[in-house]
Structures are given as structure tokens and as C-alpha cells.
Amino acid sequence: MQKVHRFFFAFLIAMFFSLSLSGCYDSTEIDEEVYALAVGVDKGVSNIIRVTIQYATYKDGGGGQKSGGGGNGESAGGGKEEESGEVDGTVVATVEAPSLLEAINMLNLSSNRQISLFHTKMLVFSEDYAREGVMCYVEPLARYRQVRDSMRVVVCQGTAEEFIKKGSDYVGANMSKGMELSFYQSQNTGYFPDVFFHDFYASVLSPYGQSTAIYAGVNDFKQLEVPTNRELKLVTDLDMKPGQIPRKGGSKSEFFGTAVFDGDKMVGYLLQNETRFYLIATGKFQWGTFTFKDPQSPNYAFLLEITNSRKPEVEFRFEEGVPVIDLKIGLEAELVSSQSRINYEDLDR
């Protein structure tokens, strides 16, 4: 009888340790998947939704590294790469489908690897689509096991497909790293909020708050006017929408403002200066430069570096049935330069 017990216990121990030797039944090798960098959502034509996926080609030995051969997003492949959707070391593929997740599943047919959303950096909605409501496509992603909360939410002017194609010129060889660093410019400028997917989804469901998203657009580099001999005037309070910055060079995509939602529908937007005030009021502003007209010399300006020193103190009350908000803000300002050379550091000024 003791031999039977010993054999039984030995068998159980052997079975227990054998479990640690078995592999995962649903494991996937790294080189069997391709990781989407951006997901775009537009209105469909023949179906309800048009989805655009951008993923790395892994050519030249790098994940999301840009391929050589030509400048400004063009390479030696010419028309062949244009037909395949290759843009700066990535593939931009578009499909129409009845749902977002099925569209991603259908796009697997365009690749020899399975498309994964584990490392997706941003979810882009076209403004037209965002104004009709995004909840029916955000909720499935929130329940999908591959989607990370650190994915950013962007609303763009025009189509999401065009925005993703034009926004591929980042400094450095690694596209994924460049895309991630572009969102950190919110901390350096305050021109747009850094909105994560988890915060956006929670705000859509919240009964006491509304959600916001990054407002973006494409700059066609045609905003710089031809020099003339007319008299120039100092303009410091100019508000612009994404794509309207007078500049040339760099990435054509611009994060510049805040998309404002009521529930799951976009109802408006904040321009860059309004966005800064919003971030200051909510305690999310970190650092930025502000240019003001010199009150004693209107043709000159002075520059301030403003940082957030502490979280704002907020008090609520009702006066005759009207809600009133008292906001106490703590900021630190440093005078960087004064074109008029007036000594404003003298308190008597």
C-alpha cells in the first residue's frame, strides 16, 4: 500500500513540474507580427468606415527605420512604392469595412505578418467623423486586449489617411521613437494637450466631465508670404488653426490646439493660446514662451518664459443658482528679453 502511495505522489510531483516545461499554446514569435504605429478612421464610401493603418517595413535592419534613396519621403522605388503604400520606411494601408477591428483583420491580407496593436502610438479621427460621434469605435478598442492606454487620441482636419501619410518626416531613423517624442512637445510648448486613450475614454463615460483630444492638421508649406516692401506690424496675439503656421520644412503634420467633445461628439476646438490657458487652469501646463507687446514701446516686444509652480486651487460655489468657479493659479515668469531695452526688472516700472 505504501508503494502505491509513493508512486501516486511521485506521479503528481512529476505532473506538477512538467507544467513548467510546456509552452504557451497561443504564443507568437516577434517576427510573426508587425506592429501598427498609427490607426486612422475616416468616413467610408462603399461601407460605413474607412480605416488606415501605418506599420513599419523592418527594412534596413530597423523597426520603423526610414529607407534611403530619396529625399522628402521619396525613394528609389518610385511608382512601385507608391502603389504598395510605402512611406519613409513604413506602409500606409487603407481599407473599408463595417467595423474598426474587422478592418484591421482584413488588412492582414495586405501583409505577410499579423498586424498587432500592442505598440500603436496614436488613434486619428477625421474631424468630420469626430463630429458625428466616436463612441461606437472607441469602446471596442477599450475592450480589445491589444490596445494600450498610452495610445494618443488625435482629431485632424481633412482625412486621417492623408494626415498619417504626410506626418512621417521625423528626426532620427526610428519612426516609432520619433512619433512618441512628437507628443512630448506638449510639455515644451503648451500648444496642444497630451491626451491618452484611457483618459479620453474615461472622460467620454464620465457624468461630470467632457473629453478633449489633440487637434491636428497638415501644413502644405504655402503659408509663408512673398516678401514685399510694405510696412511690417508686430502681431503677438495671432491665433491659428493646425496647418496655418507660416513655415517651411520639417514634418507636414502639426499638433496645434485642442478638440473639444460633448459626450462622444466633437463640438468645437481651442486654438493654441486658448489651449495654453486651458492647460494652465487644469494644472497640466508645464513650460512655454510668451511674447507680449511692450506697453511703453508698442513696436517692440518682450519675451517671458512661464512655468507652472504649483497646482491650481479650485473652489466652487453657487450665487443665485449660478455656479461660480474661483481659480487660484501659481505661475513663475522669467523675463528673457526686452527689445526696447527698458529695465522692467526695476519694480518702479
Domain assignment of residue 107, yes or no: yes
Domain assignment of residue 115, yes or no: yes
Grid coordinates 508512486 are at which residue?
7
Residues 234 and 308 in one domain: no
Q: Where a domain ends, among 210, 238, 271?
A: 271
Residues 108 and 214 in one domain: yes
pLDDT (0 to 100) of residue 224: 82
Domain assignment of residue 230, yes or no: yes
Domain assignment of residue 26, yes or no: no
Residues 220 and 318 in one domain: no
Mean pLDDT (10-residue bins), the chain, 349 residues: 71 72 62 88 92 84 48 47 68 92 89 89 95 91 89 96 86 82 92 95 91 95 78 81 89 94 96 94 92 86 90 91 91 87 70
Residues 244 and 302 in one domain: no
pLDDT (0 to 100) of residue 208: 86
Residues 62 and 145 in one domain: yes
- From residue 293, give the alpha-carbon distance in Å to each of 179, 252, 348: 35, 30, 19
Supply φ then ψ for residue 155, to 5 degrees.
-115, 125
Domain assignment of residue 24, yes or no: no
Residues 93 and 132 in one domain: yes
Domain assignment of residue 279, yes or no: no
Residues 230 and 341 in one domain: no
**Domain tally for the chain?**
2
Which residues constitute the domain of residue 344?
A: 286-349
pLDDT (0 to 100) of residue 70: 44
Residues 243 and 114 in one domain: yes
pLDDT (0 to 100) of residue 88: 72
pLDDT (0 to 100) of residue 61: 45
pLDDT (0 to 100) of residue 349: 57
What spatial distance separates the first Cα and last Cα of the chain, rounded to whole Å? 102
Domain assignment of residue 1, yes or no: no
Distance between CA atoms of residues 107 and 345, nearest Å: 61
Residues 257 and 292 in one domain: no
pLDDT (0 to 100) of residue 71: 43
CB 347 within 8 A of CB 298: no
Q: Where a domain ends, among 202, 236, 271?
A: 271
DSSP string, 82-146: HHHTEETTEEEEEEEESSHHHHHHHHGGGSSSEEE-TT--EEEEEHHHHTT--HHHHHHHHH-TT
Residues 223 and 101 in one domain: yes
Residues 311 and 239 in one domain: no
Residues 204 and 86 in one domain: yes
What global pTM score does this model have?
Answer: 0.84
Domain assignment of residue 108, yes or no: yes
